[in-house]
Chain A
């Protein structure tokens, strides 16, 4: 079993490396298997683009190695390094970087052409990819005459026309306006699932990651802080950053049978599932109940006083920011805000059912 897993791992991209750039060091270890999309999620400056650059061969690693399908791309220990031009990698850059002096067709034909195919052959390949991405009618245009969504597809076609074994996408949808983004996202999903090799997609948009990826790698300050399926990450965020992205309250604490003493004050009663030691507790803002006095007889095992410090109107609800032990974000209807006469400074009681608390062990930092 583990042998099969190892073989599958080796068939894809394996990164176990450090990349030093000035004061910043990226130190990551993860694998991307063929046919799967790994989203690298993280705040600005987390090292996401650095990771792509190292994988593409635009930056050498300072320690460790990167392999693709068992072939060494870069190995600091042996000094072996495959130049960017020699790596079977397709890179879709954040601003696409389409050659402004070439037509769309010539942009897409560029990779087969410089990799030694004949002019006619390269043109045929370009035509094939333009067809597949539904942009054959743009063939004679210059990049300057394309909309954002069109440029994105041309960039993808150009990367795929080189018949890469690995696809790298840097914020592929960031340059698009909200209206075209959803459309392009749907198409991108189809093209990524049709691609045989592993794909590495960098984004800071959690929704993009959840929709496009089979697996998430969360990067913060050059380190992987969480790795898992989108569902796992969304349900059990490992850090405050991830919790904020997926819109959950997250608390750290120490579990002891049926209770958790929270690090920042307060405590929770939790379902007794034998948790011990350092844990994280995630709570949906809509699972917390707010009342104007201490709830008397209720099934909620947790109740604590808090003070409203802020109100934000979301689309169909109001998000309350409350200060207490612990502090919490709570989602209520506008009607509830009016009825309870909530405003900054209001005192209220919060309660939550023990079964609405997601309690899980703190992952050892990688």
Chain B
């Protein structure tokens, strides 16, 4: 006795599609389709809402009442500076974590990626305790050099670097780990010293991940709020970055907040589009 389940209907198009691809059923079962749709709506509706409520007619007017330009310029340059600092010190750290072995390395890796999961406000408090005028390091910075960091533009850069550098480190470290070290061996046999190998082979070969990590880092720095407001405050023109400007505008001028948010959304979308080919589609290649 042979038992066969009752047949379903498969059109010629369905058949062609199944034959073409990986032979699995491409239709979505209802139990997965509904939650997936809810997820899409949840992610997109707020953004659509933002677009609907945008005062398109008098955008310029809404923005003029704020220090939008100042805030945007501050945000862009501090995020860029934070990314620069992360590249200069984070990439070497990623190399050390990926390519060397020493006692306590796993602990160190866990610690340097801690800001990924740490509430940013806590990071801001910690930075204040370290670099504040009476902080562990800040005391000496002030008494020896007369430098005060908190509530200044450099403080913004530090806060952003603290929160965003781990993104660059883990991306680059992962790429270094999975990169084929055979190429570095080949470079060595061709006469390249270690720093030359790093510069001419290691870095160019992980370039896609380096770019992806930098953009992630930059985007995270651009959106940084908690650590910045705690450590650098919100002085318009000096330390008030876009996210902070949006937050304050929402209290007294919602239209301005919407306009500012729209501006940030456009910048983020531009980043995403610029990454489209290199990163989103191809995946993070080592």
Residue positions of A touching B, CB distance < 8 A: 56-58, 83-87, 89-91, 93, 95, 97, 99-102, 110-111, 114-115, 158-159, 162
Contact A162 B182 (CB under 8 A): no
Contacts of B182 in A (CB 8 A): 93, 95, 97
Contact B190 A111 (CB under 8 A): yes
Partner of B201, one of A58, A99, A158, A159: A99
Partner of B189, one of A91, A99, A100, A102: A91
How far is A162 from B200 in the complex, measured between Cα atoms in Å?
Answer: 16
How far is A100 from B187 in the complex, measured between Cα atoms in Å?
Answer: 12
Interface pairs (22), CB distance under 8 Å: A57-B188, A57-B189, A58-B189, A84-B185, A84-B189, A85-B188, A85-B192, A85-B193, A91-B186, A91-B189, A97-B185, A97-B186, A99-B186, A99-B204, A99-B205, A100-B183, A101-B205, A102-B204, A111-B191, A114-B193, A114-B196, A159-B190
Most buried by A among B183, B187, B191, B196: B191
Contact B191 A115 (CB under 8 A): yes
Interface of B is mostly: helix
Q: Given A84-B185, A93-B186, A114-B196, are A101 and B191 neighbors across the interface (CB < 8 Å)?
A: no
Q: Given A99-B201, A114-B200, are A158 and B188 neighbors across the interface (CB < 8 Å)?
A: no
Contact B186 A114 (CB under 8 A): no
Contacts of B196 in A (CB 8 A): 114
For the complex, count residues of B whose C-beta is within 8 A of A.
18
How far is A84 from B196 in the complex, measured between Cα atoms in Å?
Answer: 13
B47 to chain A, nearest CB (A): 38
Contact A83 B191 (CB under 8 A): no
Give the contacts of B186-227 with A (CB-CB under 8 A).
186-194, 196, 200-201, 204-205, 207
How far is A111 from B190 in the complex, measured between Cα atoms in Å?
Answer: 5
Contact B189 A90 (CB under 8 A): yes
Contact A84 B188 (CB under 8 A): yes
Residue positions of B touching A, CB distance < 8 A: 182-183, 185-194, 196, 200-201, 204-205, 207
Q: Given A114-B200, A115-B191, A162-B191, are A101 and B207 neighbors across the interface (CB < 8 Å)?
A: yes
- With A86-B191, A89-B189, A97-B183 known, 11 other A-B pairs at CB within 8 A are A56-B189, A57-B189, A58-B189, A84-B185, A91-B189, A97-B182, A97-B186, A100-B205, A110-B187, A114-B192, A114-B196
